[in-house]
A and B are shown apart, each in its own frame.
Chain A
């Protein structure tokens, strides 16, 4: 899945926020979102969000999958896979089904993970809390 996310990163996203762009307000999309600039407001999509190194989001992110290489000051609510790249800087809580944290990523907040049962809407789901201290 992570490989698929990485492949998608190079594919044309439906919404691309360029490096010199500053957005104020809620960014909603039905497709993949690639953020290279700054967003001050909620980012929401049912598909994937890619936050490129150097990009900054100051608000919550709600998405299907996410690959984070930039800075986020807000909560991440991801229904699928979340990848924190080595350049990621997260200040906020995260929730996801599958999490991958690369060496060097900084995460300060709570992490709630739902097992496969929860992802499929079955009974007996497992919920874990994880806290990673910043380096």
Chain B
């Protein structure tokens, strides 16, 4: 049984209602209608995942933004579902990764049921498939203007202490970085952020001169830190963020944990319905 979790998540009411109507029509047309539940102030994504589990649903579909999907992942708590995603947000990074453009291709993808097993990352009891950021973050660089982003990238470097794979400790003076499982630029041919290789990629950005910052601002905004000179790239299975204590780890701007925190990869853990044009 399909269980659809609909999340307005900041969308104007009229646009959300329109998308909801379009979705219901398409689900009936593709004969994949199941139970549909809407997130409200009284029913969180967590509550709806619990309800889906009680009703015996096998496939959970998040309909909303990337945040909706991430909240759904966090609410799984080890329970076994096949997951899908239908984007209500045209800027969705996850939609690009999965090869879905809009509600129509989302429904068509769910109906196609092309399932891929992908790696799942775990942090502080929560799960994610995409990436986490710390320090100066690409999410902020993307959202701000040129001058504000240059100011952020000219800020003082922080001293990070990170333990990798319980094997070595890395001490680095840098601006920030990211831990990637999947990015919108991921592919099976890519060595970095390949969601099927059973590894996480830790990328740490060092402080740069103004000219270099200007030249590579777009790479940083896209999270392509490996294209910035002097960036450290570490492939690993487990990362313990030790110092500086209290520094937030964020997912699309939402704080999910603070240093000290531990991130690890669970290979091939997630069954995900993906589109033909997926990036991996």
- Assess whether A125 is interfacial by the CB under 8 Å rule: no
A28 vs B174: C-alpha distance in the bound complex, in angstroms? 23
- Docked-complex contact B167 and A26, CB < 8 angstroms: yes
- Docked-complex contact B168 and A18, CB < 8 angstroms: no
Instruction: Count how many chain B residues have C-beta atoms less than 8 Å from C-beta atoms of the other chain.
Output: 21
Give min CB distance, B26 to chain A, whole Å: 41
Q: Which partner residue on chain B sits nearest A34 by CB separation?
A: B233
A69 vs B170: C-alpha distance in the bound complex, in angstroms? 22
- Docked-complex contact A18 and B191, CB < 8 angstroms: no
- Assess whether A130 is interfacial by the CB under 8 Å rule: no
Give min CB distance, A3 to chain B, whole Å: 22
Q: Known contacts A23-B168, A24-B168; decide if A18 and B206 are in contact (CB<8 Å).
A: yes
- Assess whether B52 is interfacial by the CB under 8 Å rule: no
- Assess whether B204 is interfacial by the CB under 8 Å rule: yes
Q: Known contacts A12-B226, A20-B174; decide if A26 and B168 are in contact (CB<8 Å).
A: yes
Give min CB distance, B174 to chain A, whole Å: 7
- Assess whether B235 is interfacial by the CB under 8 Å rule: yes
Give min CB distance, B16 to chain A, whole Å: 42
Q: Which residues of B contact A18 (CB under 8 A)?
A: 172, 174, 204, 206, 230-232
- Docked-complex contact A27 and B168, CB < 8 angstroms: yes
Q: Which partner residue on chain A sits nearest B233 by CB separation?
A: A16
Give min CB distance, B119 to chain A, whole Å: 16
- Docked-complex contact A23 and B226, CB < 8 angstroms: no
- Docked-complex contact B167 and A27, CB < 8 angstroms: yes
Q: Which partner residue on chain A sits nearest B171 by CB separation?
A: A22
- Assess whether B169 is interfacial by the CB under 8 Å rule: yes
- Docked-complex contact A16 and B231, CB < 8 angstroms: yes
A135 vs B173: C-alpha distance in the bound complex, in angstroms? 35
Q: Known contacts A12-B226, A31-B191; decide if A21 and B233 are in contact (CB<8 Å).
A: no
Give min CB distance, B250 to chain A, whole Å: 22
Q: Which of A14, A20, A41 contacts B235, CB < 8 Å?
A: A14
- Assess whether A19 is interfacial by the CB under 8 Å rule: yes
- Docked-complex contact B173 and A20, CB < 8 angstroms: yes
Give min CB distance, A127 to chain B, whole Å: 32
Q: Which partner residue on chain B sits nearest A25 by CB separation?
A: B168
Q: Which residues of B contact A21 (CB under 8 A)?
A: 170-172, 204, 232
The residue in A13, A15, A29 that gathers the most chain B C-beta atoms within 10 A of its C-beta is A15
- Assess whether B257 is interfacial by the CB under 8 Å rule: no
- Assess whether A36 is interfacial by the CB under 8 Å rule: yes
- Assess whether A17 is interfacial by the CB under 8 Å rule: yes
Q: Among residues 56 to 111 in chain A, which have CB atoms less than 8 Å away from a CB atom of chain B?
A: none
- Docked-complex contact A20 and B206, CB < 8 angstroms: yes
8 pairs, CB–CB < 8 Å, chain A vs chain B: A18-B172, A20-B157, A20-B230, A23-B170, A24-B168, A25-B169, A27-B167, A29-B235
Task: Add 5 more A-B contacts to A18-B230, A18-B232, A27-B167 (CB < 8 A).
Answer: A12-B191, A14-B233, A18-B204, A22-B170, A30-B235
Q: Which A residues have a C-beta under 8 Å from some C-beta of B? A: 12-31, 36-37, 41
The 9 A-B residue pairs with the shortest CB-CB distance, nearest first, are A25-B168, A18-B232, A16-B233, A22-B171, A21-B172, A20-B173, A18-B230, A24-B169, A23-B168
